[in-house]
């Protein structure tokens, strides 16, 4: 693929969508970007780890006084039932100004837009500073060997970003309406309650784990974690599964399992919530005489990039291009911004995300063009 100056972000989005890069497969998507960025004068390197491909690219000299960074991913979620799609999921067909395909929204269009903006900007107006691009193939998966591997590569090779923009889709309904300046933390806790199996007609000879599990789930789900904070909505806890695997109605099972997912704001940490859950588990264990095993996975801590120069700069660019004044928000799930925030100040701005992960995922061609223009204006403002 030979795209040079004046890179068409729509054409580049289509080329990336045609790579069936269902996580953790790459399917050639990062090779397209590697060639494109290398041809434009970016110093490119692979930061692969654990079988995951990750691309680092820098325009400008290492150690420049100013460095603006973009971050994104090219891996996508599975397509589900292909028969349910009315448009082929990996053909990037355009109909009535809409491009269809897995990854069109989340987030190959975002990657295409910032790659195109960066290439055109550095070739047309070489800045006094560096532009850094990091793209992973492990955002939709375990996220262990993706952006974390890129950050490790940067630390080992004395590379840096002074600020970073993640190109995830951030707008709920209208292009330009929302910038993410933080994210809630996320953790999942799995429970296994072990009692004693027995006949349901003789419950005194058994120790039913189900009442213990139901009491535990009720105690966890009934607690109001907080009322929200200055920049965050209230934290939430959802019971996502309860399983016994018991088809018999005359048998008290020996054990059962369950899981909860917690999305938490800056009033909590993974450690403080883990400590609370440990107390609740201990109360159930002693009260019901059962064994309780727990497994905690903290996907990310909550974080906030306080409103300031970075968010103001992005807001100006969004308003100039779209005519919409964006809201600064911390809503939604997790993204790789949770890793970038440990390196430098980070915000997120991208397309309307209504169709992401859905059948017939799609994006407005006009919005892709607008997004490239937003990113271009941000670079112009940053290096002015």
Which residue in 75, 138, 266, 361 is the catalytic one?
75
Rounded alpha-carbon distances, angstroms, from residue 19 to 16, 27, 74, 359: 5, 5, 9, 17
Which residue in 26, 138, 139, 348 is the catalytic one?
139
Sequence-distant (≥ 6) Cβ neighbours of residue 347 within 8 angstroms: 164, 165, 166, 179, 180, 181, 305, 310, 311, 314, 337
Exposure b/e, 340-358, CB count within 10 A at least 16 = b:
bbebbbbbbbbbbbebbee
Whether residue 93 lies in the annotated active site: no
Percent helix, strand, coil in the chain, to 5, is 35, 25, 40
CA distance 338 to 182: 8
Residue owning tokens 């292909």? 82
Which H or E element spans position 72?
strand 67-73
Name 317's bridge partners: none
Whether residue 75 lies in the annotated active site: yes
- Mind telling me the catalytic residues? 75, 139
């Amino acid at each position: 693929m030979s795209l040079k100056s004046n890179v068409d972000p729509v054409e580049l989005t289509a080329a990336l969508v045609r790579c069936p890069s269902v996580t953790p497969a790459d399917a050639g998507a990062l090779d397209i970007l590697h060639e494109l960025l290398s041809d434009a004068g970016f110093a490119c390197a692979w930061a692969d780890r654990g079988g995951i491909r990750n691309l680092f690219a820098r325009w400008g000299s290492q150690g420049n006084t100013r460095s603006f960074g973009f971050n994104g991913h090219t891996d996508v979620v599975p397509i589900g039932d292909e028969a349910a799609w009315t448009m082929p999921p990996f053909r990037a067909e355009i109909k009535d100004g809409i491009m269809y395909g897995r990854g069109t929204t989340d987030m190959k269009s975002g990657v295409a837009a910032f790659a195109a903006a960066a290439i055109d900007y550095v070739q047309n107006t070489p800045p006094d500073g560096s532009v850094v691009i990091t793209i992973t193939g492990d955002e939709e998966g375990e996220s262990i060997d993706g952006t974390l591997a890129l950050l490790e590569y940067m630390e080992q090779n004395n590379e840096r970003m002074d600020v970073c923009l993640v190109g995830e889709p951030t707008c709920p309904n209208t292009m330009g309406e929302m910038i993410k300046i933080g994210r809630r933390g996320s953790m999942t806790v799995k429970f296994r309650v072990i009692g004693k199996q027995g006949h349901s007609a003789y419950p005194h000879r058994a120790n039913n784990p189900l009442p213990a599990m139901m009491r535990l789930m009720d105690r966890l789900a009934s607690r109001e974690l907080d009322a929200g904070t200055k920049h965050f909505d209230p934290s939430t806890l959802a019971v996502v599964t309860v399983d016994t695997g018991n088809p018999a109605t005359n048998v008290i099972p020996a054990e059962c399992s369950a899981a909860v997912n917690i999305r938490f704001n800056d009033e909590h940490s993974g450690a403080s919530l883990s400590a609370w859950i440990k107390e609740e588990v201990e109360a159930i264990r002693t009260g019901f005489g059962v064994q309780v095993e727990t497994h905690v996975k903290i996907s990310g801590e909550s974080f906030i990039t306080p409103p300031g120069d970075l968010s103001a700069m992005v807001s100006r660019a969004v308003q100039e291009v779209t005519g919409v004044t964006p809201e600064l928000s911390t809503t939604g799930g997790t993204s790789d911004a949770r890793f970038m925030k440990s390196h430098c100040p980070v915000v997120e701005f991208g397309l309307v995300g209504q169709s992401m992960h859905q059948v017939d995922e799609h994006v407005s061609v006009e919005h892709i063009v607008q997004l490239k223009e937003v990113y271009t204006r941000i670079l112009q403002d940053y290096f002015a």
